[in-house]
Structure 1
Amino acid sequence: MNYMPSFTERVMNTLKVLLLICCTIALAACGKTDSSSGQSTNTSAVYAGPPIIGTSAISFNGPRSNYTITATPTGLSVTDRVGTDGTTAVAPTIKALLFKDISINLEIAGKASSIAAKDLNILIELYIAYFNRVPDANGLAYWIDRFKAGMSLDQIGESFYAAALFFPNETGYSATMTNEAFVTLIYKNVLGRPNPDQQGLEYWSNSLASGATTRGTLVRVMLSSAHTFSGDPTYGWVANLLDNKNSVSREFAIAQGISYISDSDSISKGMAIAATVTPSDTSVAKGLIDALLGTIPNTTNFPTASQASRFLGQATFGATNADINLLMSTGISNWIDVQFTKNQSLHKTYMDTTAAGLLNGISGLSQNNFFESYWQQAVTGEDQLRQRVAFALSEIFVISFQDSGVNNYPRGVASYYDTLASGAFGNFRTLLENVSLHPMMGIYLTSMRNQKESGTRVPDENYAREVMQLFTIGLYQLNPDGTNVLVNGKPVETYSYADIRGLAKVFTGWSWAGPDKTSTRFFGGNADPNRDVLPMQSYPNFHSISEKKFLGVTIAPQSPANPEASLKTALDTLFNHPNVGPFISKQLIQRLVTSNPSPQYVARVSAAFNDNGKGVRGDMKAVVKAILMDTEARNDPVLSNAGTGKLREPVVRLANWMRAFNAKSTSTFFKVTSLDDPLTSLAQTPMRSPTVFNFYRPGYVPPNSEIANAKLVAPEMQIVAEPSVVGYLNFMRDIIPNGVGSSRDVKADYTNLIALASTPDQLLDQVNLLLMANQMSSSLRGQILSAVNSVTIPATNTTNIENAKKNRVYLAIYLTMASPEYLVQK
C-alpha cells in the first residue's frame, strides 16, 4: 500500500519546511496573500427526489449518516434527519439500503451465522492478511456463498491473491515481486511487523520456493501461527492485534452491514479503518464507523482528562486544570448547557469605566483599551464558550481597527464585539440585523450615509455584496452538506450583479442614531454622544423608493419611503436562504474543530441550524452544541485520520499559554497591545484583520503543497510564512520566562510546574495535558525530555537550584509550543 499522509501530517510537513527555510535562508518580506474566493474544494453532490423503492433495495438521496435506522414490529424504518426524504418503511423483502456513500446489506448477519465461527474468522482474516482492511459486507457475503457452494478456503485464498494483483498501487502486491517481498508484506498485514526477523523471513520464503505453500495458501498458515502467540509475554500482542482487527471487521461488515459504493473506497477507506487498530485499542476504528453511521456519541458520560482537555481546546481559549476537573465531573453536554447560562460581561462597560477616569473621557479611549478588555475576558472569563464563539464570529462578520474610520471609535468596536458575543447564543436572524445596523459595520463597509440613486449617483454596493458573499449565502449554491450544487459539472452562482444592485437600494437611508432625522445628523453633524454604540437609524428622505429586486424577491416602489420594511424583507430573504445553514455551519466548524469537516458533519450541523428540534431556525445554541457534540468532534483523533485537525492561529496560541499557566496581570488591566508585527510578535491581533476577508479565507489552500495535492484546505496557513514562523518562535521564547504586554504586565504562574521540575516525566505530563490533550507523540516526548534533562539541577545553592528548575519548565513549554504537533489542533 502506498502510504497517504493525513491532513495533520501535511500541515506539519508544511510547517517543518517553513522552519527549515527560516534556518537556512535570509528572511524576505511576505508578498500579498491570495485573494481568490474562499470556496471549498469538496466534491460536490446533487440532492434530488424521494427514495427509490425497488423490489430488493431502496435508494436514498443522502449519505448514511443523515439517516436513523430503527427496528419496527414489521421490519425496519429509515428516517432522514437532515434532508427531505422523511421516513421510509423497509419491507421484509428488501435486501439492501443504498445511500450516497455506502450501502447496508440486510442479509449479511444471517449469512454470517450460517457457517462455522472458525471458518468465518478465516474469511475475515483473509481480508486483513491480503489487503490489511476491514471486509465490506457485500464482498464477505459473496465469499460466504462461495464457501457454502463448495469452494475451499485455500481456493478462496488463491482468489484473494489474484484480486490483490488488480490493485497494486493500493495493496502493494505485484506478480513480479520476490518471495521475500511477499512475505515481508504479509508480516506487515498479519503480524503488524513491517520488518520481519531474518529467520522468519527465510523460513517462509523457502516454504514458497520449495512449493510447500503458495502465495494463496501461505497466508492461512501464517494466520494460524499468529494465533498461537496468544498470551505470550513477548509476542502476545500479535494475536491481540489480529483479534482486534477481526472484532472491528465484524462490527463494520456484519453488525452494521457496511459496503462502500466504489471498489477503490472499499480498499483505501477499509485500510484506513484497519490502520487505526492497535493490540490494545479499537476505539478510534469504531469511532470512524460511528462517523459513517452518524452515531451521536454519548457526551453525557464523564470524559477522561485527555478528552476533557481536547474538548476545551475546541470550546474555549484553552484548557486549565480547574476546567479539566470540572468537565470530568459534569460531562460535556451538561458543561455546554451551564455555559449557555453564564452572564455576558460587556466590553462597552469596561470602556465606559475606563473613559470615566480619563481627562478627555470617551475621546481619550484607544484601541489598546479594547485589547485590555478583550484579553481579560478571553483569559479569565467564566463564559469561555461565549468568548470562543464570539472570536469565531469576529472572523466571519469582520470589521477592523485597521480601517481609519473604525479606528476612531474604540468604544464602538467594543460594542460591536459585544453584539457578536450576544449573538453567539442568540438567533442568527437577530445577529444578522444587529450586525447590519451597527454603526461600526456601517463605517467599515460604507453602508452608513448611503444615499438613494439620483442622476448619475447610484447606491453604494459594498455592504450589499459582502452581506451575501461573506455573511450569509456565499458565492455558490450549496447542498445541505456544504458541497456545491452542480449543473453540467459547474457550480451555480448564488447571486448576480443585478442582485447586488437591487439589494444595495435596501441599505440606503441609514446613518447615525440620534433624537432627530435631519440631513445634518445623516451626514454626521450634531453628533449624539452615544452614536458609536447605538444602532443606525433610518432616514426616509435618503432611502430609495424605486423597485428593489434581489434573490427572486421584489420590493415594490414605495411612497413614502419605508427603510424598515425594506430591511426586514431583505434580511428575512437572506436568513431563509437554504445556503445559510451549510455556509455558516461549515465556517464555525472550521474555526472551532477542523479545517476539513466531512460533508456529513456539515449536514448534521446545518440541520441543527435549520431546525433546533423545536421548529426554530437559526438557534445559535443548537448550532454550537451540534458542532461540539458531533461524532467527528468527539472521536479520539489519530494522525492517520484523513482531514483531522486545524492549525492553531496565533491569537489562540497566546491565549492557550495564558490560560494553561494561570497568567496574571500585574496591573490587573492585561496591557497587551498590537501583536501585528510578524517578525517580533504574532502577525495577528484581535479585530485588526487586514481586509473584510479576515486574516485568512475559509477555503485557502497553500500553493504547491501536499495540502493542495490532497485537495484539502488549511485556512490559517494564509498568515504563515517565514517571517511569521521565526517571529512566533522568538516571541514565545521571550514571553514564556518574562511575560507579555506593556512592561511585561502579564506573566504566567509556574509554581505548580516548578515543583515537578525534578521529575521531568511528570513535568512534561502536565504540559502535554494542558497544551496538547496528551496527544504528544513518543518521539517528540523523547526529544523534549532529553532537552529538559540536559538542564542540570545543582546539588547546592538555592538560587541556582531554583533557576535550573525554572529553566526546565521554560524549556518544556517552549519546545512543546514550538512543535508542529502542538501547532496542529487535533
Structure 2
Amino acid sequence: MQSHCRLILLTCLYLICLMGLSGCGNEQSKSEQTESPPAVAMSPPTISNNVASFNGPRSNYTITNNGLETNVVDNVGSDGITKLSSNISLLNFTDVSINLTIKNKADSLSATELNALVELYIAYFNRVPDAEGLSYWIDRLKAGMTFDQIGESFYSAAILYSTQTGYSASMSNADFVRIIYRNVLGRPSPDQDGVDYWSQLLDSGKASRGTLVRTMLNSAHTFMGDPTYGWVARLLDNKNIVGKDFSVTRGLSYINPSDSISKGMSIAATVTADDISVAQGLIDALIGIININLNQLSAAQASRFLHQSTFGPTVGDITNLTNMGLNNWFANQFIASQSLHRNYMDRTAATLPKGLSELNQNHFFESFWQQAINGEDQLRQRVTFALSQIFVISFQDSSVVNYPRGVADYYDMLATHSFANFRQLLEAVSLHPMMGIYLTSLRNQKEAGTRVPDENYAREVMQLFTIGLYKLNIDGSYILENGKPVETYNSNDIAGLAKVFTGWSWAGPDKTNTRFFGGTPDPNRDWLPMQSYPNYHSTSVKNFLGTTIPAQAPANPEASLKIALDTLFNHPNVGPFIGKQLIQRLVTSNPSPQYVARVAAVFNNNGQGVRGDMKALIRAILVDAEARNDPMLSDAGVGKLREPVIRLANWLRAFSSRSTSGFYRITNLDDPLSGLAQTPMRSPSVFNFYRPGYVPPNSSIATAQLVSPEMQITAETSVVGYLNFMRDIIVNGTGTARDVKADYSAFTSLATTPDQLVDKVNLLLMSNQMSSNLRNQIISAINSIAIPNSPQTAIDTAKLNRVYLCVYLSLASPEYLVQK
C-alpha cells in the first residue's frame, strides 16, 4: 500500500497543480468583488411593429400561448404581465430572443431540407443554429438559393469570426478539411490519407469548399450501422436533434452574434454519439427549466444533490432520497429537530472539575463533528456552516476564544435562524455577545468629548453581512454611473450607523454601570443576547443609507436598532448579495446572473409576499435549473472547489465513521502540512477563510474571468498536506488518539471485483461523475495489489489495502476536488 501511495501522491500533486492552484493573497481592507456587466436602464416592455422587448433574461419569464394571444409573465423584475396579440412574431430578452413563427416556417420544408440546413451550421461552426439565422436561410432556400451557394455564404461568415471558428481566408485546403473532420465527423485528429483525399478534390478544382462540405456530410451518414464508425453518423444525428430543439422547437437566438457562435458551439460540444442530455440541460437552464423530475431522482442525481445540501451522502441517504423525492426530503429536513451545541458544552462542563471555566474550543469541535457526521438535520448542518462563513466570528480572536460555550451558542443561533427569516437572523447576529466581542460592539459607548462610537460592527454589518460595497442589480451585477460602480455607503453612513450600536452590553438582571463594563457577570451572559443600556446609547441624530433617526430623549436603543436593521433588511442589495454567496457556498462559485436573479427574487418575495424567507431561499438555490440539471463536466465555470472541511466531512459520512470514545475528538486542523489548513469557526479574519470574489493570480481561472474562492487557502503546502493527511487517516483514523475511524466493512466484500468497488465509491464521493480514464486507472492500481490464497489474515489485509487505495485515489483526484 505504501509504495503505491508514494507514486500516487506525486501523481496527484502534479495533477492538482495543473489546476492552477495559488497561495493566499494579502488581506485587504475591503472584500474583493468581480467585475460585472454594465447596468441596464429599466423601462417598461416595449412593443414595436411585430417585436416585443423585455428588460430581463429569458429565464426570468414564463411564456404561455392559448392560440389567440401570448402571455409573458416577469417572475423576477418589474415587467409584470404582458399580453401580446397574435401578430407579434419576436420576443427580445436581454440575453436571447424567441422567434414565434420559426416552427411554422420550418414545417414548410421537407425533413431532408431542414436537416441539411441545420447540418451546415454543424459543419461550418460546430454549433447549434439560431432561430433568426435559420429563418433567414429558409427564406433564401425557398427563394431559389442552392445548398451549395448557402454553404459558400456560411464559409464567408465563418471567416469573419475566425477566432471562434478557426477558419481564415488564407488557410490551406488541408487545414480546411481538418476543421470539417472535427465538426462533421467528430475527429479532431483525422488520418492523413483522409485529409489528402479530400484536399485533392479541392486542389484539383473538382470541388469548392462549399460543395465539399455537403459531400462530407453525405459521407458521414453512410456510416450509420457500421460497427467501427457508426458513432460518426449517430453523433451528427444527435447534433442535428439538439440544433433543431434549440432553434425550431424553442425558437432561440442569442442577442449577441458572437454569443451565437461561442455559446452555440459550447452546447454542441456537449453532444456525444450516445447522449444529448447535457446539451438539453444547458438549453433548459438558459430558459430556467429544470430537466429532471425532482421527485424521481436517479442515484447519481440524489448523490449530487446531497453533496450540495449536506455534509455528504451515505448509502442510506441516497436510497431514501431516491425513494421520497426532493419535495418530501425538504419537508422532512425543515422540521428535523435541532441538537444544541450549547447543551453539549453544558453536559461536558458538568463532568469537568472546574465546570464551565474548564471548557475550551476542542469541546465545541467535538460537538461540531458529532453532529456533522451523525446529525439527521443535514440540510440545517450544511447551511449553518455556510452562514458561519458569512457572519464570521472566530476562535482565533484572543477574546472570543475565552468563551467556547458562547461560540457554541452563536453557531446554534445561526442554525436556529437558518430556517427562519433573514431579518430575525440579522438581529440575532447583531445582539449576540460573541459578535459583540468579535466586532467590538459590546460596551460600545455614545460620543462624548473626543470619543466617538466604535464603527467596527457598523462597517461590517453593511460590507459583509447585508449590502456589500456597491449597489447591485437583482442579478448581482453592478449598477453603474459614468461607467463605474456606485458605492452603497460612505464614511458618514458608517458614523451614523455606529451610533445605533452604542449602549449594548452583557445581559443580566439589571442595567448598572458595573454590568455594562463586565462586572458582576451573569453565569449565562456568554450566550444570552446583549441588552440595552440607555445611559450609554447615543441620543443625537443618526443618519445612514438615506434614513434618519431623530434625536432621542430619553435614549431608546431598541427603537434605533429596529429602524437600522429594517433599513438594512429592506435594501435591494440584500437578496443578490446574500443569495449569491449562499449559491457559492453550496452549489457553484460562478453562478450565472440569471441564477442569482432567480434566487434574489425569491428572497424578495417567497411567493406569498414575505421577504427574507430562509426556507424559500435555500430551496430556490438548491432546486434551480443551474443546480439540478446535469452539469457539463468539462466546463471550468461549473461547480466549486471543495473546501478542506467539506472533504473531511464527505469521507467521514460516506464510510460510516464512528468515535471509539464517543466524543469525536477531532481538534484543531489549521496546520496546512499536518492538518487541512481549515478548522470550523477558526477563520483568520472577519473576511472568512476566503473571499467570495477571490481570483488566483496568474492562473487559467483569472484568464477565464472566473472566481474560485476556496483557492485562497490552497497552496503548495496545503496540497501536499491534504494528500498526506488523507493517506494517513483513511487507514488509521483521525482525531486525538485516532478517535474517529471509518468502517469499510460494506466495501471489503467488493475488493475482489474492483470495478464494482470503484463504482460504489464513485457514487458516494463523485456522484458517478468519475471519468472512464480515471476509473480505469484506479481499477488498474487496485488490481496491482494481489490477494493471496491464504492465510485469512493476509487475505483480509489485502482486501482492506485495495479499499484504502480506491478511497485515497478518489479523494486525491482533481475530479473529486471540484464539486460539479
Q: Output the TM-score relative to the length of structure 1.
A: 0.96
2:155 is matched with which residue? 161
Q: Could you tell me how far apart the structure 1 residues matched to 2:276 and 2:203 are?
A: 37
1:530 is matched with which residue? 524
2:278 is matched with which residue? 284
- Residues 1:151 and 2:145 are matched in the alignment: yes
Name the amino acid aligned to 2:17: L
Q: Could you tell me how far apart the structure 1 residues matched to 2:767 and 2:41 are?
A: 39
Residue 561 of structure 1, CA deviation = 0.3
2:166 is matched with which residue? 172
Matches within 5 A, 1:436-451: 436-451=430-445
Q: Secondary structure at the match of 2:800?
A: helix
Q: Secondary structure at the match of 2:543?
A: strand
Q: 1:36/1:535 Cα in 2 relative to 1: closer, same or farther (>3 Å)?
A: closer
Q: Deviations over 1:710-769 (max 9, x none)?
A: 111000000001111111111111100000000000000001111111111111111111
Deviates more, 1:430-439 or 1:168-177: 168-177
2:505 is matched with which residue? 511
Q: 1:275/1:298 Cα in 2 relative to 1: closer, same or farther (>3 Å)?
A: closer
Q: Could you tell me how far apart the structure 2 residues matched to 1:362 and 1:749 are?
A: 34
Match of 2:804 among 796, 801, 810: 810
Name the amino acid aligned to 1:141: S
Q: Could you tell me how far apart the structure 2 residues matched to 1:19 and 1:292 are?
A: 31
2:17 is matched with which residue? 18
Q: Could you tell me how far apart the structure 2 residues matched to 1:626 and 1:437 are?
A: 28
- Residues 1:655 and 2:654 are matched in the alignment: no
Name the amino acid aligned to 1:230: M
Match of 1:637 among 613, 628, 631: 631
2:576 is matched with which residue? 582
Q: Deviations over 1:685-705 (max 9, x none)?
A: 000000000000000011111
Q: Could you tell me how far apart the structure 1 residues matched to 2:182 and 2:531 are?
A: 70
1:72 is matched with which residue? 66
2:6 is matched with which residue? none
Q: 1:653/1:20 Cα in 2 relative to 1: closer, same or farther (>3 Å)?
A: closer
Q: Secondary structure at the match of 1:377?
A: helix
Q: Secondary structure at the match of 1:217?
A: helix
Q: Could you tell me how far apart the structure 2 residues matched to 1:17 and 1:681 are?
A: 18
Q: 1:733/1:206 Cα in 2 relative to 1: closer, same or farther (>3 Å)?
A: same
Deviates more, 1:270-279 or 1:195-204: 195-204
Deviates more, 1:41-50 or 1:114-123: 41-50
Q: Deviations over 1:660-710 (max 9, x none)?
A: 000000011100000000111000000000000000000001111111111
1:423 is matched with which residue? 417
Is residue 23–residue 713 contact of structure 2 (8 Å, CA) maintained in 1? Answer: no
Is residue 450–residue 510 contact of structure 1 (8 Å, CA) maintained in 2? Answer: yes
Name the amino acid aligned to 1:508: T
Structure 1 unmatched runs, 5+: 1-11, 23-27
Q: Could you tell me how far apart the structure 1 residues matched to 2:165 and 2:25 are?
A: 43
1:739 is matched with which residue? 733
Matches within 5 A, 1:308-347: 308-347=302-341
Q: Deviations over 1:647-668 (max 9, x none)?
A: 0000000000000000000011
Match of 1:612 among 606, 627, 632: 606
Q: Could you tell me how far apart the structure 1 residues matched to 2:755 and 2:38 are?
A: 48
2:470 is matched with which residue? 476
Residue 219 of structure 1, CA deviation = 1.1
Q: Output the TM-score relative to the length of structure 2.
A: 0.97
Q: Secondary structure at the match of 1:467?
A: helix
Q: 1:29/1:599 Cα in 2 relative to 1: closer, same or farther (>3 Å)?
A: closer
Q: Secondary structure at the match of 1:77?
A: strand
- Residues 1:602 and 2:596 are matched in the alignment: yes
Is residue 31–residue 687 contact of structure 2 (8 Å, CA) maintained in 1? Answer: no
Calculate percent identity across the aligned residue pairs.
Answer: 69
1:722 is matched with which residue? 716
Matches within 5 A, 1:375-774: 375-774=369-768
Is residue 475–residue 597 contact of structure 2 (8 Å, CA) maintained in 1? Answer: yes
Residue 779 of structure 1, CA deviation = 1.8
Is residue 23–residue 711 contact of structure 2 (8 Å, CA) maintained in 1? Answer: no
Is residue 30–residue 723 contact of structure 1 (8 Å, CA) maintained in 2? Answer: no
Q: Could you tell me how far apart the structure 1 residues matched to 2:13 and 2:145 are?
A: 51
2:183 is matched with which residue? 189
Q: Could you tell me how far apart the structure 2 residues matched to 1:261 and 1:661 are?
A: 49
- Residues 1:137 and 2:131 are matched in the alignment: yes
Q: Deviations over 1:367-400 (max 9, x none)?
A: 0110000001011100000000000000000000
1:222 is matched with which residue? 216
Q: Could you tell me how far apart the structure 2 residues matched to 1:555 and 1:331 are?
A: 49
Q: Could you tell me how far apart the structure 2 residues matched to 1:338 and 1:254 are?
A: 42
Q: 1:29/1:695 Cα in 2 relative to 1: closer, same or farther (>3 Å)?
A: closer
Deviates more, 1:249-258 or 1:88-97: 88-97
Residue 13 of structure 1, CA deviation = 12
Name the amino acid aligned to 1:236: G
Q: Secondary structure at the match of 1:716?
A: helix
Q: Secondary structure at the match of 1:68?
A: strand
Match of 1:791 among 785, 797, 820: 785
Q: Could you tell me how far apart the structure 2 residues matched to 1:304 and 1:467 are?
A: 42
Deviates more, 1:143-152 or 1:226-235: 226-235
Residue 801 of structure 1, CA deviation = 1.4
Name the amino acid aligned to 1:295: I
Q: Could you tell me how far apart the structure 2 residues matched to 1:82 and 1:19 are?
A: 40
1:265 is matched with which residue? 259
Q: 1:411/1:15 Cα in 2 relative to 1: closer, same or farther (>3 Å)?
A: farther
Residue 34 of structure 1, CA deviation = 5.9
Q: Deviations over 1:569-627 (max 9, x none)?
A: 00000000000000000000000000000000000000110111111000000000000
Q: Could you tell me how far apart the structure 2 residues matched to 1:48 and 1:822 are?
A: 42
1:53 is matched with which residue? 47
Deviates more, 1:810-819 or 1:297-306: 297-306
Is residue 45–residue 483 contact of structure 1 (8 Å, CA) maintained in 2? Answer: yes
Residue 364 of structure 1, CA deviation = 1.2
Q: Secondary structure at the match of 1:88?
A: strand
Q: Deviations over 1:1-27 (max 9, x none)?
A: xxxxxxxxxxx99984637999xxxxx
Q: Could you tell me how far apart the structure 2 residues matched to 1:47 and 1:805 are?
A: 65
Residue 36 of structure 1, CA deviation = 5.1
Is residue 23–residue 712 contact of structure 2 (8 Å, CA) maintained in 1? Answer: no
Q: Deviations over 1:143-200 (max 9, x none)?
A: 0011111111111111111211111111111223222222221111111112223443
Q: Deviations over 1:11-52 (max 9, x none)?
A: x99984637999xxxxx9977456652213332333411111
| Superposed CA RMSD | 1.7
Is residue 696–residue 715 contact of structure 1 (8 Å, CA) maintained in 2? Answer: yes
Q: Could you tell me how far apart the structure 2 residues matched to 1:107 and 1:13 are?
A: 53
Q: Secondary structure at the match of 1:331?
A: helix
Q: 1:20/1:648 Cα in 2 relative to 1: closer, same or farther (>3 Å)?
A: closer
Q: Could you tell me how far apart the structure 1 residues matched to 2:462 and 2:12 are?
A: 36
Q: Could you tell me how far apart the structure 1 residues matched to 2:737 and 2:325 are?
A: 40
Q: Could you tell me how far apart the structure 2 residues matched to 1:101 and 1:630 are?
A: 18
Residue 74 of structure 1, CA deviation = 2.3
Deviates more, 1:323-332 or 1:225-234: 225-234
Match of 2:122 among 128, 131, 148: 128
Deviates more, 1:789-798 or 1:193-202: 193-202
